[in-house]
Every structure is written in structure tokens, then in C-alpha cells.
């Protein structure tokens, strides 16, 4: 276990290269289990969550080559068990994606309760709804989830009760190995869902409606191998942009598509951030920021919940009041209450709404990173603060941001990763 010590007040400047989309990497790696042919995924982010997923794939009988690099080659001629390692499942919410391929190839799936961020608040009801629609039955289990489809999955028409990203991905992965046509309505439309569709199409699945809320899949009798290069992670790009903006810095962010950034940069422009954006280049310049009256998260292509914590920190360095409304997750805003002890002017209206008033000079303190995104937001706040801060259990943030200390140092931050003695 380690903490990140940050001595704030330094401007971030220079260049940072964005890695592949974390939220696409996990379902694409799982998709490799659908076929007995080799698959290759490129531009894979070298983050902790990917490492856990690699170990999960190996526990099921897959061979994974290239660990520690940005190119992974996955081959799974046979799945050797219906139950992924429960300890690994408990560390990664994305492990729920394994249900579809396990049912498709073995007819059974046994999954311990998935872990990750907000594990007790995020159900998998949408995933189960999709799998049951495709013919799976949910059996009694003392712990976790046990599903059976002894005669295989069958294509179906379904309406998802929630436009869940991972729920949509679960439906896609299961439908790709089902017999017959599947139509999924009220599907999530995020760029990482699009990437799952693109890989499945390369494997031989006919897919109509990619990028829309209605997807129609016609799988072949046998899925083939495929190669796919991940798009740059637009949430990571926005995170670095905010970190630069709150420190008054200038930053050249490389490797992200402009169309993926648009829902975020539209808000950043409203707040007065001076930037240029084109495919592959996102250049941020020191700016005088001002508040927006109200900011509300929404389904894609609305403002993503994954960046709301960081923009709340940005609001502390903007003149005026902003009401931030995240109707999807309440715990991200609760995590930001710590900013009040840094002299931020915050008023938590309820679990989903917070009013932030700026501009305020933040002060260093000890902070608790509770999930990937709010953890990175607290890192950004500490970078802007006067004095020293300590972000506890930085491994949480490193699940989504590779080489965090090295990259911050290269941009001029004064940071140090300190191992905490095991008691």
C-alpha cells in the first residue's frame, strides 16, 4: 500500500501521451474469449485493472502474451472452468463481462460478487436481464451469481431497463455467441461500446446501428480471430487537461479523437478554458476561468459522470458559483467533501448535487482516494494547493492512470510515492 505525497503550487507544463481507452480495453479483452482463434488488442493501457483482467483470462484457460506492453495477444482454445478466480473478481467490476462468453462456450457461469468502485451501490440487474432474455437461467447460489444455458444462448429482442455501459457490453458479448438475431434497444452509445461493436464485427458478427441506441446482431456460426487498436482514452485526456488548468499550466495532450472530447470540451469552453482541439492534439493554455450556472451529467453524448469530480475541482479555481448535478452516482460527490478541509467553498445539497464557489486558494491536507475518478480529482486539487498533501492508497487512482508519478514528475509536479509499512 502506498500514498502519494504532493507539494502543490507548481504549474504543469509539457506534453503527455494518452493511452488506450480503459473502459474499452476490459470488454475487448473479454471478447477474445468468444473464439478459439488468436486475437490481438493494441494500444492497451498499462494500468492495474488490465493486469487483473489478464490474470482472470489466464485463470479461465486463456494464453495472454505481451503483458507489460501496449500489445496483447490472447488465445483461448478452450475454457477450463466456469468460475473465474473469486479473489480477482472481487477486485474488478469489469469481471461481470465474463458471464456472456462463459455461458456461450461452456453453458454455465459462476461469478463471485464483482468488486471495483461503488461495489455495494452498483447492481448487475441489467446484465442479468439481458442474459435471461437470451435464454440463460439464474440458479440458486449461496454467494455471487450462478447462471446456466445448457443448450446455448438464443437471439432475442430486448429493451434494457437502463442504458448501462457494461450492461450493454454484456448483452453484446452474449448475443455474439447466441444462435440467431438479437436486437438490443436502449443501448448505451459511449465510444467504448462502439469499440466493442467494431471488434465483434471484425470477428464476423453482422452489426447494424453501431453508435446508436438500437443494435442488431447476426452472429456467424463460428467467430474468428481479429486485431483491434484502441482509441485514446478521452476521460484520461480530460483529466490531464483539468490538472493543467487548475495549476495555471500549459499542456499538449496527444492521442485522443476530437469527437470523443466534444461533450467535455463544450463545458470547458463555457468555463473559459483556452484550448485547441483536433484529432490527436488537445492543447491547453493558462486561462482565467469562470463558473457555469449549472452542470448536469447525462448519457452519451451528454457530459460524462466519469469527469464530474475533476470539473468540480476545476470549479474551485473558477470565479463564481456552479451547481454540479450528478444524478448517476452519489459517492463521487461525497468523496469531494474532503475539499472543504482544503478551504474549498462547497455546499453539498444532497447526494447528487453540490454547489462550488470559486476562486479559492486550496490548502494541502491528507486526502482519501475512494474511487479512480474522484481520486484523480483529489490529486488535481493537491497539485493546485498551497503546501503539502498526502493522497492515501494511491493504488486506487493507478487502476486507471498508468505511470502516474513518472508522468506528473515529467510535467513539473513535485510528487513522491511513499510506501506505507504493513502493520
Catalytic site residues? 117
What's the CA gap between 153 and 145, in Å, rounded?
Answer: 17
**95 within 8 A of 84, measured Cβ to Cβ:** yes
What's the CA gap between 184 and 100, in Å, rounded?
Answer: 15
Beta strands at 63-65 and 72-75: parallel, antiparallel or unpaired: antiparallel
**375 within 8 A of 391, measured Cβ to Cβ:** yes
In sequence order, the β-bridge partners of residue 296 are: 325
Q: How far is CA 208 from the centre of its chain?
A: 25
C-alpha grid cell for residue 244? Answer: 493543467
Q: Which residue has the cell 470523443?
A: 260
**8 within 8 A of 384, measured Cβ to Cβ:** yes
What's the CA gap between 172 and 215, in Å, rounded?
Answer: 9
C-alpha grid cell for residue 28? Answer: 475487448
What's the CA gap between 20 and 17, in Å, rounded?
Answer: 10
What are the Cα distances from residue 274, in Å, to 22, 241, 259, 282, 360?
Answer: 27, 11, 18, 11, 20
What's the CA gap between 263 and 297, in Å, rounded?
Answer: 10
Beta strands at 13-17 and 250-254: parallel, antiparallel or unpaired: parallel
What's the CA gap between 54 and 51, in Å, rounded?
Answer: 5
What's the CA gap between 305 and 127, in Å, rounded?
Answer: 20
C-alpha grid cell for residue 212? Answer: 446508436
Amino acid at each position: 500500500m502506498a500514498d502519494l505525497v504532493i507539494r502543490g503550487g507548481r504549474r504543469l507544463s509539457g506534453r503527455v501521451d494518452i493511452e488506450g481507452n480503459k473502459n474499452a480495453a476490459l470488454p475487448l479483452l473479454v471478447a477474445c474469449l468468444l473464439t478459439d482463434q488468436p486475437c490481438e488488442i493494441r494500444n492497451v493501457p498499462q494500468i492495474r485493472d488490465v493486469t487483473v483482467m489478464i490474470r482472470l483470462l489466464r485463470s479461465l484457460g486463456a494464453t495472454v502474451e505481451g503483458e507489460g506492453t501496449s500489445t496483447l495477444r490472447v488465445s483461448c482454445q478452450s475454457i477450463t472452468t466456469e468460475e473465474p478466480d473469486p479473489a480477482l473478481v472481487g477486485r474488478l467490476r469489469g469481471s461481470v463481462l465474463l458471464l456472456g462468453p462463459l455461458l456461450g462456450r461452456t453453458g454455465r457461469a459462476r461469478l463471485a460478487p464483482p468488486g471495483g468502485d461503488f461495489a455495494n451501490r452498483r447492481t448487475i440487474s441489467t446484465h442479468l436481464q439481458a442474459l435471461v432474455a437470451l435464454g440463460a437461467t439464474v440458479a440458486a447460489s449461496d454467494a455471487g451469481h450462478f447462471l446456466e444455458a445448457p443448450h446455448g444462448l438464443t437471439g432475442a429482442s430486448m429493451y434494457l431497463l437502463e442504458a448501462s455501459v457494461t450492461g450493454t457490453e454484456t448483452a453484446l458479448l452474449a448475443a455474439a455467441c447466441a444462435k440467431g438475431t438479437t436486437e438490443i434497444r436502449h443501448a448505451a452509445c459511449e465510444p467504448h461500446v462502439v469499440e466493442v461493436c467494431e471488434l465483434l464485427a471484425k470477428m464476423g458478427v453482422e452489426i447494424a446501428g453501431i453508435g446508436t441506441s438500437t443494435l442488431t446482431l447476426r452472429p456467424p456460426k463460428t467467430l474468428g480471430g481479429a486485431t483491434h487498436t484502441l482509441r485514446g482514452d478521452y476521460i484520461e485526456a480530460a483529466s490531464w487537461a483539468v490538472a493543467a488548468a487548475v495549476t495555471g499550466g500549459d499542456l499538449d495532450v496527444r492521442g485522443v479523437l476530437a469527437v470523443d472530447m466534444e461533450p467535455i470540451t463544450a463545458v470547458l469552453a463555457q468555463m473559459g478554458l483556452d484550448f485547441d482541439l483536433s484529432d490527436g492534439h488537445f492543447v491547453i493554455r493558462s486561462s482565467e476561468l469562470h463558473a457555469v450556472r449549472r452542470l448536469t451529467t447525462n448519457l452519451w453524448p451528454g457530459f460524462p459522470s466519469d469527469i464530474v469530480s475533476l470539473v468540480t475541482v476545476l470549479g474551485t479555481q473558477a470565479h463564481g458559483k456552479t451547481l454540479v448535478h450528478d444524478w448517476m452516482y452519489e459517492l463521487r460527490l461525497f468523496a469531494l467533501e474532503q475539499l472543504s478541509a482544503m478551504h474549498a467553498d462547497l455546499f453539498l445539497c444532497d447526494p447528487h448535487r453540490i454547489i462550488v464557489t470559486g476562486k479559492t486558494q486550496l490548502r494541502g491536507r491528507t486526502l482519501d482516494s475512494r474511487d479512480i475518478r474522484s481520486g484523480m480529482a483529489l490529486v488535481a486539487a493537491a497539485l493546485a494547493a498551497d503546501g503539502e498533501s498526502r493522497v492515501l492508497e494511491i493504488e486506487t487512482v493507478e487502476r486507471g492512470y498508468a505511470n502516474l508519478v513518472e508522468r506528473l514528475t515529467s510535467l513539473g509536479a513535485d510528487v513522491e510515492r511513499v510506501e506505507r509499512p504493513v502493520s
